[in-house]
Chain A
Amino acid sequence: MSVPYLREAAAQDDVGKLVRFVRLHLGDGNETVGKEEIDQSWAETIKILLRDQPVDREFITQVLEKDEATLALLFYHLHFYLIRRSGRWIHDGSR
């Protein structure tokens, strides 16, 4: 899906097209895998938080003061970080 196609979808608030793109991106072209990976990354956050470890809330406050473009991209970085932690990494051939 090209950026112009996505801009058109965003202008029409066509969430279905936007979500499909995200799933294809995260699933390396496989929409079903992408959906599973999204679920998996959220599940991983719960597993981590269940350990009840201390958290740096001051850091989170500082991060959330950044611009929205940086935060949106950070969301993708956190997703892939969590997927790698989950042990179900399917990307790039590495383990």
Chain B
Amino acid sequence: MTAADKDALSTTDPREAGIQLRTGLWQTINERYPGSMIRKESYVRQAQLAKPLASCRLTLVSSCGVHLKTEKPLDVCHPFGDFRFMRVPSRVKHEELIIHQLKYPHDDADLDVNVIFPIERLQELAQEGRLGGLTANFFSFIGYNMDPEKFECTVAAGIAEEVVEEEQADCALLAPA
């Protein structure tokens, strides 16, 4: 562990603040993956929802690596990760989707993708009127990533731009894998 790493793990570290179900998790990660920890000095405040969910257009963003079976998968072998993202039409069903990921067991999600990418549940909520609607596309990428700064400038910025500009979502459900 480098001096910079130790400094990043000080007691004021916001990642260890509040209720931690696994205290010391970040230190454990840093011991296994030295140099992987980053310190974020700037935070974007969570936006307040301006209208009820029944009037909101919702999008779904997940790091599970799901995509249409008809499309080429993201690169799961690259040691640094794949800095692209996939668009998943919000109208499709489980049968039309496939997960490509090496870093977590997705055999259960292969049986029912909704356990990790609840696309059909959201379709139901929209049909029932509990949600105002769904964006035409949802978003998926591979969570394994070794370059947080590049990730922020590529995947995160790209998805954020599409969510706001193209899809005009009112809110987003973030589903980590």
Contact = CB atoms under 8 A, between A and B. Distances in A.
B146 A6 contact: yes
B148 A28 contact: no
Number of chain A interface residues as a range: 20 to 34
A25 B148 CA distance: 16
Contacts of B101: 92
B102 A80 contact: yes
Given A28-B103, A92-B104, A3 B32 contact: no
Contacts of A33: none
Contacts of A77: 77
A94 to B, nearest CB: 6
Nearest to A76: B77
Given A3-B146, A91-B102, A93-B107, A80 B77 contact: yes
A5 B34 contact: yes
Instruction: Determine the main DSSP class of B at the interface with A.
Output: loop
Contacts of B102: 28, 80, 91-92
A87 interface: no
B66 to A, nearest CB: 13
Interface string A1-33: 111111010000000000001101100110000
B106 A93 contact: yes
B120 interface: no
A36 to B, nearest CB: 16
A24 B33 contact: yes
Contacts of B175: none
Interface residues of B, number: 27
B154 interface: no
Interface string A69-88: 00001001101100000000
Contacts of B158: none
Nearest to B78: A73
A25 B79 CA distance: 6
A30 to B, nearest CB: 9
14 contacts: A1-B35, A1-B146, A2-B36, A2-B147, A3-B146, A4-B149, A21-B79, A22-B79, A28-B103, A73-B75, A77-B77, A80-B102, A91-B102, A92-B102
Interface of A: 1-6, 8, 21-22, 24-25, 28-29, 73, 76-77, 79-80, 91-94
List of 4 A-B pairs having minimum Cβ-Cβ separation, nearest first: A5-B35, A93-B105, A93-B107, A3-B147
